[in-house]
Structure 1
Amino acid sequence: MTAKELKQILQALVEYGVNELTLETPDYKLTVRRGGEVQVVAVPQPAPLPQPLSAAPPPPAPAPAPVPLEAPQAAPPAKEEECAGCVEVRAPIVGTFYRAPAPDAPPYVKEGDRVEKGQVLCIIEAMKLMNEIESEVSGIVKKILVQNGEPVEYGQPLFLIQPV
């Protein structure tokens, strides 16, 4: 389509008060809407390649050169390696993790603290309700896996506790 033909189409839209026009040909699809939006979509048509009857098949493409592999990087240690035999305390609900009962209060527990089964470890706020999360085992808090104020998902590990 030439610029002159496009100009004629646009003039016809204005002259006849048409709000939208779609024109399709084997080569393109043109949709024009009044208000400034113009969308042109090219539709490629595969053209058959002429081949002589006696032509030999084309030679195979050369194989790509092998890419040298980099040495594998050391993966971060898994939770099991950080604390063999530790129990994961997981989030029983979706919400916001808080280490303390109030912003100015000390945290319920810190890494290295000894905890008893049933002791409160943190709070998860869900829908304006504060849910206390208790320790499932007696032991030592080896790792706190979530930052204060961070959103947590159901089943997300929160603490690693080494049973004693």
Structure 2
Amino acid sequence: MTEHVITSPLPGVFYRSPAPGEPPFVQEGDSVEAGQTVGLVEIMKQFTELKSGVAGVLEGFRVDDLAMVNPGDTVAVVREGES
């Protein structure tokens, strides 16, 4: 079981959903594909998608929705190769 860490590339606010009132991109325990968006980081009204680099299962988020993140912060962990 290899863990893949998804990190924030920049400082900003982390969002699990594409917009207020919409469901999250992915929930803990869900299967994810390589390249699938798991969240967004917003800084000055510019949004950057955070994507999984591997296929597997989202083990969990390491930051809360609407939390501030810094470059290099671990946002989520994916267990590679599981489904």
Name the TM-score, length of structure 2 as normaliser.
Answer: 0.93
Matches within 5 A, 1:83-162: 85-162=2-79
Greater RCO, CA 8 A, separation 6+: 2
The Cα of 1:140 is off from its aligned counterpart by 0.3
Higher share of residues assigned strand = 2
Percent of aligned positions that are identical: 35
Distance 1:87 1:160 in 2: 6
RMSD: 0.9
Shift of 1:85: 2.4
- What is the Cα deviation at residue 98 of structure 1? 0.2
> 1-side partners of 2:3 and 2:51: how far apart?
16
Extract unaligned runs of 5+ from structure 2: none
Corresponding pairs, count: 81
Richer in helix (by share): 1
Which sections of structure 1, spanning at least 5 residues, go unmatched?
1-83
| CA distance, structure 2, for counterparts of residue 104 and residue 152 of structure 1 | 22
- Alignment partners' CA distance in 2, 1:110 and 1:145: 13
SS in 1 for 2:2: coil
Displacement after TM superposition at 1:94 (Å): 0.7
Once residues 60 and 21 of structure 2 are traced to their aligned partners in structure 1, the CA distance between those partners, rounded to angstroms, is 22
Amino acid aligned to 1:102 = A
- Normalising by structure 1, report the TM-score: 0.48
Report the structure number with the largest CA radius of gyration: 1
Partner of 1:13: none
Structure 1: 4+ residue segments shifted above 6 A: none
